[in-house]
Structure 1
Amino acid sequence: MPKRLVVLVSGRGSNLQAILSACESGQIPATEVVAVISNCPQAAALALAAAAGIPVRCVDHRRFGDRSSFDAALRAQIDDFAPDHIALAGFMRRLTPEFAQHYEGRMVNIHPSLLPAFPGLHTHAQALAEGVKLHGATVHFVTADLDAGPIIVQGAVPVLAQDDVDSLAARVLAMEHRIYPQAIAWLVSGRLRMEQGKVTIDGEKAGEFSPCIWPGTED
């Protein structure tokens, strides 16, 4: 039976499209995206999902008085689809510890920096301001601490002298589209797990450092 994947989105849906394409091609094996859920009614990702025939739901965070009540409503919508796994794909809401614990080991996120560097927002501006030579993206398990869950895989890109926020963001986004489907493929196939706060692949600890994909190397 195919694995059931729910994707949470807030924006245009480029990582959602990468996931859908990887499911269609078989890179993500035996998996069906059973729902796409957003906190933003205007999210372009909802239209993308609907055009693909995927059920869509919106839980507008502006209709809730606090984070806990929003998370409770979001959790109810997710659980209605009985997913095996949840993927955050540009979902721009900070989740409560209770929400993260409910899906512990089953929920992953893509973050546009080489964590633990530059958690939170405006990562590309932070990277340029710090003058780093390498920037990139990280896939990690979602835990109670923001952008601090166990790292699954990272992809690095060079920061060029002529870069601005837009050019650097575009290079990082292309890397996101490579590493996120790969991480989800490991997860749904049962190769990847989070055990006692550590990432294991094929039952073996990934070690202190997780796999890193560099430009020009194979996945």
Structure 2
Amino acid sequence: MTSRAAFVAGATGYVGRALVRVLVERGWRTVAHLRPDSPERDTWRVRFAGMGATADATPWDADAMAATLLSVQPTAVFALLGTTRQRARASAARGQADGYEHVDYGLTALLLRATQRAAREMDASPRFVYLSSVGADAASRNPYLAVRGRLEAELRASPLPWTVVRPSFITGPDRDESRPAERIGATLVDAALAIPGLLGAHRLRDRWRSTTADELARALARLAEDPRADGAVVEGDGLR
């Protein structure tokens, strides 16, 4: 029986719940983090228990999160946190701080700092596996890509072992949220990339074509198990 343990932040998201299922299937002891204030917290506890995972609702506080991680003793911490463009825009319009800056960057940075603190008291530092995005760049004018670029830079400067995963569009028929623009965009991009793929531009095609939650979850688990992925930025065909 494996001694691998995972802490999954963003576990209730489209990729997160697929990852929890895949990790359990691969023999990982898996802790799925829930939003502490989620009105569906009890539902998710039951759902994750049915998968064979343990649910956790530690508040977003650095001390509390570090204590939880020290208790879990994870082999890998998966950071899959993010909000949607629609929610980010709505939050900005209301003047609320729960858009890209707060969720995609702020909560992930808090998790990174908490992992670093916990690692100082662990026998072995956990791998921090970060779900970023193709095109992530701190200098980007796109706020979604900019916050991911900033977090990647902090991760590189961290003493932790790490892996960055950069998918393009993540889509599939089993997605709960409607997201028609993303689905249409993925379809158009995949169709456009078929032409350069036929002409031999396989790197371009593989880097930008869409992936499903199941494909991505399996890639995340596989990379977390692979010592060669320590310090790697993985995108394109490396995610399939």
Indicate whether the TM-score tops 0.5.
yes
Counterpart in 2 of 1:130? none
Given candidates 179, 193, 196, the residue that maps to 2:216 is 179
Q: Quick check: 1:100–1:142 contact (8 Å CA) kept in 2? A: no
How big is the shift at 1:74?
0.7
Residue deviations 1:77-100 (CA, integer Å, cap 9, x gap): 122122111111226313277435
Q: Are 1:85 and 2:43 an aligned pair?
A: no
Q: 1:7 Cα shift? A: 0.8
Out of 64, 75, 78, the residue aligned to residue 73 of structure 1 is 64
The corresponding residue for 1:143 is 155
Structure 2 residues without counterparts, runs of 5 or longer: 83-102, 120-124, 170-178, 187-207
| Residue pair 1:37, 1:56 contacting (<8 A) in 2 also | yes
Matches of 1:144 and 1:79, distance apart in 2? 22
Which structure's residues are more often strand, by fraction?
A: 1
Q: Is it true that 1:193 corresponds to 2:193 in the alignment?
A: no
How far, CA to CA, are the matches of 2:132 and 2:111 in structure 1?
18
Report the Cα offset of residue 73 of structure 1: 0.8
Q: Which amino acid aligns with 1:15?
A: V
Pair 144,211 (structure 1): closer, same or farther in 2 beyond 3 Å: closer
User: Any stretches of 5+ residues in structure 1 without a counterpart?
Assistant: 62-69, 127-138, 158-164, 200-209
Q: Using a 3 Å threshold, how does the CA distance of structure 1 residues 144 and 72 change in structure 2: closer, same or farther?
A: farther
- Give SS of 2:222's match: helix
1:120 Cα offset (Å): 11
CA distance 1:150–1:52, shift in 2 (3 Å): closer
Corresponding residue SS for 1:42: coil
Q: Percent identity?
A: 8
- TM-score w.r.t. the length of structure 2 is 0.52
The structural deviation recorded for 1:183 is 3.0
Partner AA of 1:73 in structure 2 = A
Aligned to 1:8: 9
Deviation at 1:107, TM superposition (A): 1.2
- Once the two structures are superposed, residues 9-40 of structure 1 have per-residue CA deviations (whole angstroms, 9 ceiling, x without a partner) of 28x4212222033235x5xx43231x122343
Is the CA contact (8 Å cut-off) linking 1:75 and 1:99 kept in structure 2?
A: yes
Instruction: Check the 8 A contact 1:7/1:37 in 2, yes or no.
Output: yes
Q: CA RMSD in A?
A: 4.3
TM-score scaled to structure 1, two decimals?
0.56
Counterpart-to-counterpart distance in 2, 1:176 and 1:140: 23
Is the 2:216–2:239 Cα contact (8 Å) retained in structure 1?
no
3-state SS of paired residue (1:36): strand
Q: Could you tell me which amino acid in structure 2 is paired with residue 51 of structure 1?
A: R
Rounded Cα–Cα distance in structure 2 between residues aligned with 1:78 and 1:41: 19
Q: Which amino acid in structure 2 is aligned with residue 47 of structure 1?
A: T
Larger radius of gyration: 2
**2:52 is the alignment partner of 1:52:** no
Which residue does the alignment assign to 1:42?
A: 38
The 5-angstrom pairing of residues 194-209 of structure 1 reads 194=231, 199=232
Q: Which residue matches 1:212?
A: 235
Residue 154 to residue 78, structure 1, CA distance change in 2 (3 Å): same
